[in-house]
Structure 1
Amino acid sequence: MNKNIYMHIYNDYSAQIQSGSLSTGQKLPSENELAEAYGTSRETVRKALHMLSENGYIHKIKGKGSFVLDTQRMSFPVSGLVTFKEVSERLGRSVRTIVYENDCVPSTAEIARCLQLKDPGPVWKVVRAREIEGEKIILDKDYFLTTYVPSLSLEAATNSIYEYLEQKLNLPISYAKKEISVEEVTPEDKLLLDLYDYQHIVVVRNYVHLVDTTLFQYTESRHRLDKFQFVDFARRAQN
């Protein structure tokens, strides 16, 4: 397989999709047509199409062909536990984190409930806006048990909290329970995000556990409706 050819096909079509030359829902030429146009084999074409599919440019439907996806919405994985820094590196867009709060504070009754605290005590609270291409479109509100996160620097909050937790504190972060809902925007959302006329927001709540099943973090991540799609991969169980 000629790597230069399949990368050439991939680059051609990814550029056309990003520029809007190919619109959302538009069907790509067939494998045979692409092979003839680029003077290559169907195997090479399939490799290019697979890369386009893997990177969120197209959707392949068996027996029907390949169709352009809406690339204006950024994909966030539903399954898996990934950080904003890890996702932003894949997005390839201009991003910035704005830290509004980074303090040890008394837990409210609601946060104590979310962290399953029998006796409400202090928690480490971090409130950050995620700015992508000049627009503040995600508000992250993180709460950590001070037993496991006794302190947290502004540098870590700005860069990557998980990098600090895993590499500096050696915390074995394992899994999270996630809840996703669409809710009315709050005054805080309007103040800290660029919401324009949007009256609802997508809220992802994460309850994060260590390897020994200890719940040590609660996160509320609030996303502007028009900017994201939440994706997962599902496989039907075989009998």
Structure 2
Amino acid sequence: MPKAVYQDIYLDLKRRIEEGGFAYGSFLPSESELTTSYACSRSSIRRALGQLASDGYVQSQQGKGVRVIRDPQLDVTRGYDGFETFMEMAERLGFDPHTRCLALENVTADEQLAGLTGFPVGTRLIRALRARYAGDQAVSTDDSYILADLASGLTPELVEAGIYNYLEGELGVGIATSRRILTVEAVTEADERYIDLEGFNAVAVMRSHTFDTNGNMLEFTETRQRPGFFSQYTTVMRPQR
């Protein structure tokens, strides 16, 4: 399943902003220039720019153009930056990543699991629980539920190498967006077992519903993170009156 054209444009513009190719405070090329540059339709450009605006990278200014409002120098130094995998984050931040698969099993969503994940009752899922390491420190866990029809070939080795590497690289799945809820919660027995808490009695919890390029939900993940290692960069937009 190939990625939508706008998604490639969005990712390229996002990268260029993060690397300083489009400086903070500057204006992007016009829609017409971008359409020519990327050899695509104007609707693809507008969709990519809309995603950048939603993510807090740019802001449209009537009569002037689209201004870059993301300053890479002000970004937090640790954390999930936008929508990246643990391996991608490790490469960006320069630490040695390691993943240990703790559980890989087939489950069917009952009422309780459906309420947690958002999948309908009766949906066949694959649960993949893993611990994340930075060097020799266990810093988080990811507990994912993925559509079984999509990821039936997952093995512990593939889980440890990266589930998205498998879905995107081997299966060609287009992963587009993730809706997230972040909370701070008391540690559980599982947190104490799998995370090096270093004295913390609470963890940051991120629950994510992830959708493919066709708008279909394919995964729910609960990530539990040790404070002090992770942070979340967020840009919010006030409705215009």
Q: TM-score category by the smaller chain? A: 0.5 to 0.7
Report the AA paired with residue 119 of structure 2.
L
Q: How many residues align?
A: 171
Secondary structure at the aligned position of 1:147 is classed as helix
Alignment TM-score, normalising by the size of structure 1: 0.64
Structure 1 runs (4+) deviating above 6 angstroms are 235-239
Aligned pairs for 1:121-200 within 5 A: 121-200=123-202
Distance 2:178 2:197 in 1: 28
Structure 2 unaligned residues grouped into runs of 5+: 1-70
Report the AA paired with residue 185 of structure 1.
V
Distance 2:165 2:76 in 1: 31
Q: 1:100 to 1:227 in 2, by over 3 A?
A: same
What do residues 179-208 of structure 1 show as CA deviations (whole Å, max 9, x unaligned)?
000011111111111113211100011100
Asked if the contact 2:139/2:226 (under 8 Å) is kept, the reply is: yes
What do residues 216-238 of structure 1 show as CA deviations (whole Å, max 9, x unaligned)?
10000111012122113457788
Asked if the contact 1:104/1:125 (under 8 Å) is kept, the reply is: yes
Structure 1 unaligned residues grouped into runs of 5+: 1-52, 60-68
Shift of 1:171: 1.4
Q: 1:108 to 1:187 in 2, by over 3 A?
A: farther
Q: Does 1:112 align with 2:114?
A: yes
Report the AA paired with residue 75 of structure 1.
G
Aligned pairs for 1:95-106 within 5 A: 95-106=97-108
Distance 1:194 1:125 in 2: 23
Higher Rg? 1
Shift of 1:156: 1.5
Shift of 1:70: 8.4
Q: Which residue of 2 aligns with 1:76?
A: 80
Alignment TM-score, normalising by the size of structure 2: 0.64
